[in-house]
Amino acid sequence: MTYALLLGLLITGSLAASASLRMRALERRAERAERRLGLLLDHLGVDEPEPAGLDEVRALLRDGRTIEAIKAYRGLTGAGLAEAKQAVDALAQGERTRA
């Protein structure tokens, strides 16, 4: 019975490691594709459209509610936390530049 348990743990660990390696490879491929798409859009002079609903995010920023603005941006776009924070920081910088 102990051998069966050890064998089960070994198989589970191997599967988890394999899935982790595949996930990292897919993340690298997605990052590479995003970089290439960005370069292509820049070369063609195409600006990425602004997500709809950013007026709410800007209003939250004007009220000094940065965390709520990040949450709202994530809700609008489905972006991750780091990406949403960068986008909201860029929006805030743009708002300061206009003022």
Could you read off the pLDDT of 50-81 as tens digits, one per residue? 777 899 999 999 999 999 999 999 999 999 99
Q: In the structure encoding, which two tokens stand for residue 55, read together?
A: 């007026």
Alpha helices per DSSP H over 1-99: 2-44, 54-62, 66-77, 81-98
Provide the number of structural domains found in the chain: 2
State the pLDDT confidence band at 15, using cuts at 50, 70 and 90. confident
Residues spanned by the domain of 32: 1-48
State the pLDDT confidence band at 4, using cuts at 50, 70 and 90. confident
Of 12, 30, 48, the residue at which a domain comes to its end is 48
What pLDDT, on a 0 to 100 scale, did the predictor assign at position 1?
A: 65
Does residue 61 contact residue 92 with C-beta atoms inside 8 Å? yes
Q: Mark whether 32 and 4 lie in a shared domain.
A: yes
Q: Mark whether 60 and 42 lie in a shared domain.
A: no
CB pairs under 8 A, 24+ apart, for 88-92? 88/57, 88/61, 91/54, 91/57, 91/58, 91/61, 92/61, 92/66
